[in-house]
């Protein structure tokens, strides 16, 4: 049995995120003997580790000698380091002295001396670690490695629970478990300008401003305070939008398909902030009353669906779409299942500029990219077109939005009478989606030894 040591801290200053995500990651070490090495800092959540029945070694400092002693006493095979206070030199010395396998969690593209590096964030790109890690380091980067507690997966399967009642909206607010910038109350004051919004504020006992917050909300029926809740995914799923920090929480928010505003509160959020800003999400580099009020107004007015022509995408968006298209869960439903290169992808997009028989769009909802729709063999004379569709592979539950966008654009912009789709016979989710919108089976043909169903939808108004 492998002996695995997790090194992370939590406190009112550090926050609770490192420990919380490690408690998700640790579940993937099925056959290991798990020990946590952590300090007993003010406002820590070491009780969360104890609740999971993992052994704890309390450190008096972040001194390497203390850690080496634990590694030797417990014959540690692998150490998982999730700590901004442990750097390349520390890791290199640890490796040289103990020869332990080093597994590092990183959020900020720092230099590391490790065997495995994990960056779970949406923006994570393994290319960025060139010359930052040893050549033999195994890199695990991006949304495919997202750490999600079971509660999020369960809630995701239920679908979005908000009712989209504009007269009674719910907002999910989490400024980190510790809210070290003390922004909860300031945000709540801004929300007083929106009498139709009920605020669900999620925090923990690690919040050094908790007493102040409790006093503020005591007589306010439009605010519910959730302390140390185990229902975060449920509260999030029942919210119309969220106000969060550009931290790992954003990974969960995007997974749950909740519109959001992100307010940067720390330097270690720079990468996520830049990524969200480049993708046109609603973000604030610093808290500002006027700016936050404006962002909320924009978000509430921005529920319409936006179709962005591929020609108008920036390079990052074109790369993002290519990543979706080459993802195994998307590619398997394509007639051409080969991986498309970036050069070929960009060349194809350029060729669309002069084509009248093809249109490709990135579909966004509340500035969030949710999928791609394309129209091919557009026949204006006979008023018909074929179409294709695929989603952002980390999202679920957006099929209806995409289908409504397809029908609206085809019938109202292209002004066709007939919509045509070719679907693999075993692509049951797509077939069921089309049938909900009254598509009819026309015929079945064999393409490359696979049965393909031809489905059509007629515009009864043309």
150-300: CATH topology is Rossmann fold (3.40.50)
| Cβ count near 171 (within 10 Å) | 24
For 309, 320, 372, the CA distances from 314, given in Å and listed in that order, are: 11, 10, 15
- The percent of residues in the chain predicted with pLDDT above 90, rounded, is 56
Q: Which helix (H) or strand (E) holds 317?
A: helix 315-326
The C-alpha atoms of residue 57 and residue 265 are separated, in whole angstroms, by 31
Helix (H, G, I), strand (E, B) or coil at 86: coil
- What's residue 302's pLDDT? 58
- The percent of residues in the chain predicted with pLDDT above 70, rounded, is 97
For 33, 36, 57, the CA distances from 74, given in Å and listed in that order, are: 10, 11, 10
Domain ranges of the chain: 2-145, 150-300, 305-458
The mean pLDDT of 23-48, rounded to a whole number, is 93
| Cβ count near 174 (within 10 Å) | 24
User: In the numeric block, which tokens belong to residue 316?
Assistant: 């990052």
| Cβ count near 324 (within 10 Å) | 20
- What's residue 166's pLDDT? 59
| Cβ atoms 106, 128 nearer than 8 A | no
- Look at residues 4, 36, 42 and name the one whose alpha carbon lies nearest to residue 20: 36
pLDDT per position as a tens digit, 254-277:
888 899 999 999 888 999 999 888
Q: Which residue has the tokens 């509660």?
A: 151
The mean pLDDT of 443-457, rounded to a whole number, is 87
- What's residue 187's pLDDT? 96
The C-alpha atoms of residue 454 and residue 443 are separated, in whole angstroms, by 5
- What's residue 161's pLDDT? 62
- What's residue 60's pLDDT? 95
The mean pLDDT of 392-421, rounded to a whole number, is 87
The C-alpha atoms of residue 345 and residue 339 are separated, in whole angstroms, by 10
pLDDT confidence band for 163 (50 / 70 / 90): low
- Look at residues 152, 168, 145, 173 and name the one whose alpha carbon lies nearest to residue 242: 173
User: In the numeric block, which tokens belong to residue 92?
Assistant: 């290199």
- What's residue 305's pLDDT? 77
Q: Supply the mean pLDDT for the chain.
A: 90
Domain 305-458 falls under CATH 3.40.630.30: yes
- Residue environment code for 438-447, b if the CB has 16+ CB neighbours within 10 A, otherwise e: ebeeeeeeee
2-145 and 305-458 share one CATH topology? no
More confident residue, 366 or 362: 362
CATH of 2-145, one of 1.10.1840.10, 3.40.50.720, 3.40.50.11190, 3.20.20.70: 3.40.50.11190
pLDDT per position as a tens digit, 180-216:
889 999 999 999 999 889 999 999 888 899 999 999 9
- Look at residues 37, 36, 41, 44 and name the one whose alpha carbon lies nearest to residue 17: 44
The C-alpha atoms of residue 239 and residue 233 are separated, in whole angstroms, by 10
| Cβ count near 144 (within 10 Å) | 12
The C-alpha atoms of residue 102 and residue 89 are separated, in whole angstroms, by 13
Residues with catalytic annotation? 18
| Cβ atoms 264, 284 nearer than 8 A | yes
pLDDT confidence band for 41 (50 / 70 / 90): very high
pLDDT confidence band for 122 (50 / 70 / 90): confident
Helix (H, G, I), strand (E, B) or coil at 369: strand
**Does the pLDDT at position 367 exceed 90?**
no
The mean pLDDT of 160-178, rounded to a whole number, is 76
Task: Give the gyration radius of the chain's Cα atoms.
Answer: 25
| Cβ atoms 80, 25 nearer than 8 A | yes
pLDDT per position as a tens digit, 62-98:
999 999 999 999 999 999 999 999 999 999 999 999 9
Separation of CA 282 from chain center = 15
Helix (H, G, I), strand (E, B) or coil at 393: coil
| Cβ atoms 422, 453 nearer than 8 A | yes
């Amino acid at each position: 049995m492998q002996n695995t040591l997790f090194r992370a801290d939590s406190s009112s200053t550090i926050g609770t995120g490192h420990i919380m995500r490690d408690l998700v990651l640790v579940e993937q070490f099925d056959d290991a003997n798990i020990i946590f090495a952590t300090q007993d800092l003010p406002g820590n959540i070491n009780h969360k580790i104890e609740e999971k029945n993992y052994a704890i070694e309390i450190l008096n400092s972040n001194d390497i000698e203390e850690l080496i002693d634990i590694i030797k006493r417990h014959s540690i095979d692998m150490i998982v380091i999730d700590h901004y206070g442990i750097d390349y030199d520390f890791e290199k010395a640890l490796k040289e002295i103990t020869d332990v396998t080093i597994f590092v969690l990183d959020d900020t593209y720092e230099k590391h001396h490790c065997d495995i590096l994990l960056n779970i964030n949406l923006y994570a790109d393994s290319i960025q670690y060139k010359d930052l890690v040893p050549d033999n380091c195994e890199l695990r980067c991006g949304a495919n490695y997202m750490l999600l507690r079971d509660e999020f997966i369960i809630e995701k399967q239920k679908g979005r629970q908000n009712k989209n009642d504009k007269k009674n909206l719910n907002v999910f607010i989490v400024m980190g478990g510790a809210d070290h910038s003390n922004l909860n109350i300031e945000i709540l004051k801004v929300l007083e300008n929106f009498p139709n919004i009920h605020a669900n504020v999620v925090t923990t006992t690690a919040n050094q401003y908790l007493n102040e917050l409790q006093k503020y909300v005591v007589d306010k029926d439009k605010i519910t305070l959730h302390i140390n809740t185990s229902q975060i995914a449920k509260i999030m799923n029942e919210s119309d939008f969220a106000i969060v920090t550009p931290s790992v929480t954003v990974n969960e928010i995007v997974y749950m398909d909740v519109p959001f505003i992100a307010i940067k509160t720390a330097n270690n959020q720079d990468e996520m902030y830049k990524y969200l800003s480049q993708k046109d999400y609603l973000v604030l580099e610093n808290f500002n009353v006027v700016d936050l009020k404006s962002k909320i107004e924009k978000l509430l007015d921005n529920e319409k669906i936006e179709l962005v022509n591929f020609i108008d995408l920036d390079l990052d968006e074109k790369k993002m779409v290519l990543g979706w298209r080459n993802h195994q869960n998307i590619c398997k439903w394509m007639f051409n299942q080969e991986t498309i290169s970036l050069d070929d992808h960009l060349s194809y997009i350029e060729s669309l500029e002069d084509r009248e028989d093809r249109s490709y769009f990135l579909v966004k909802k509340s500035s969030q990219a949710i999928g791609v729709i394309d129209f091919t063999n557009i026949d204006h004379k006979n008023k018909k077109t074929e179409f294709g569709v695929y989603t952002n592979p980390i999202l679920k539950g957006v099929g209806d939005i995409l289908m409504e966008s397809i029908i609206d654009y085809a019938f109202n912009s292209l002004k066709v009478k007939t919509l045509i789709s070719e679907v693999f016979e075993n692509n049951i989710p797509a077939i069921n989606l089309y049938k909900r919108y009254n598509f009819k089976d026309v015929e079945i043909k064999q393409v490359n030894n696979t049965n393909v169903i031809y489905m059509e939808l007629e515009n009864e108004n043309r």
